Amino acid sequence: MRRLIVWRHGETEHNVGGLWQGQLDTDLSPRGLDQARESAQPLAALRPTRIVSSDLRRAAHTAAVLGEVTGLPVEYDERLREIHVGAWQGLSQGDVAEKYPDAAAALARGEDIVRGEHGESVAHVEERVMAAAQEILVGLPAEGAAVIATHGVTARTLVAALIGLPQRQAWLSIGGLRNCHWAELAEHRTGWRMTAWNVGVSESVISTSDR
């Protein structure tokens, strides 16, 4: 069977500070690089045959570590970027709750709104990330395994779409991937199944913010 590993990037300073990153092109923190190095060994043991990454640095640099361990080239696709959060980029969760109380309340209810006035909704993310995933799958042979290095919201959106879980339910009921944690999916004759969620590095080097 074919497999997909959907991998969230390592920690950034924005994660540590609880800031919305969206499509800001931030770098890994020193701990984030350690997370990538620690994650690379168990991911390599899953025998990936292809690595495709968001082109934002925090994901691309995470994927590069796995590329070095496996010897596989890393491909880049901007459709794997994080959700664009518009005017919220660089703001804390508290800032957003204060400046955009109606939007924050809507998100808490599971409504899929455009983030930050001119950003994206999850529906927008699903459309672009599924287009990228379908192209990856077209070239993935039987028994192949692709690692997709991406971001918190994008990862959950992709996994939910592939397994047929409504996005609102996923938003409200599935905790976000921790930094450098991943989901494992396997293709069966009835479709894709999630076989593992939030697999990853030791607790000593994780960060939990999924913005």
Query: What DSSP state is assigned to residue 80?
Result: G
| Gap between the Cα atoms of 185 and 33, Å rounded | 25
Active site residue 82: yes
Question: 22 by DSSP, 3-state: which?
Answer: coil
DSSP state string for 84-100: P-GGGTT-BHHHHHHH-
The catalytic residue among 14, 38, 61, 82 is 82
| Gap between the Cα atoms of 54 and 198, Å rounded | 19
Query: What DSSP state is assigned to residue 191?
Result: E
**Cβ atoms 70, 45 nearer than 8 A:** no
Hey, which residues are catalytic here?
9, 82
